[in-house]
Amino acid sequence: MTKEELYEALNYVSASRENRTKMASKIEGNLHLIPILIEIIKGDADPISCKAGWVLESISKINLSPIITNIDVFTESLKHISLESSVRPASKICQLLVINEFSKKKEKPKQNLTTNHLNIITEAAFDWLIGDYKVAPKAYSMTTLLLIGRRIKWIHPELQQILKQNYESGSAAYKARARMTLKVLEKSSAFKNLL
């Protein structure tokens, strides 16, 4: 499948889970298409970019290996994604990558995210957290930042400050996730003070 054929096929992808999963299965059989799919996501103004994001998210939920193999291309694309419907799948993929990174059982290939990858994901997650986005990308970003903050120490105080600042103006769903995140941060901080 060429880039043009992939682009054309994405025209027929809908928001239905079954439809996205079907397209994801086709791409899993043609892993050389992953960088092309990521390139399409970077075309942020194009409505097809969000469909590419949906498909990439579906692939990630099944198997992170294709994303991990193309991690440089994926993380480089994050700064180009601002369309609400593209940000949500990108933030979910970042969360999945970071959960995998900090999990005791990593998916193969066991390539660790470098400090550079984590810094790029951190920057994107903070942008999504403070930006004018819906709750889902903000919630995924909270989890992402909470985990990365285990390795990069300045993140937790910054995350805590942002959550406290934006708490009152947040939706009920935002407040619920922020409360949960703040509770974890406070326990972590109390534990560090005991040491």
Q: What is the CATH number of the domain that holds 88?
A: 1.25.10
Give the pLDDT score at 28. Answer: 85
Q: How confident is the model at residue 195 (pLDDT cuts 50, 70, 90)?
A: very low
Give the pLDDT score at 21. Answer: 84
Task: Please name which of 148, 141, 153 lies closest in space to residue 101, comparing C-alpha atoms.
Answer: 148
Q: Is 69 inside any structural domain?
A: yes
Residues above pLDDT 90, as percent of the chain: 69
Give the pLDDT score at 106. Answer: 63
How many structural domains is the chain composed of? 1
pLDDT at 172 over 70: yes
Q: Is 64 inside any structural domain?
A: yes
Q: Is 113 inside any structural domain?
A: yes
Q: Is 190 inside any structural domain?
A: no
State which residues form the domain around 15. Answer: 3-152
pLDDT at 191 over 70: no
Q: Is 193 inside any structural domain?
A: no
Q: Is 16 inside any structural domain?
A: yes
Q: Is 127 inside any structural domain?
A: yes
pLDDT at 139 over 70: yes
Q: Is 121 inside any structural domain?
A: yes
pLDDT digits (tens, 9 = 90+) for 6-61: 888 898 887 777 888 888 888 888 899 999 999 999 887 788 899 999 999 999 99
pLDDT digits (tens, 9 = 90+) for 94-134: 999 999 999 877 665 556 899 999 999 999 999 999 999 99
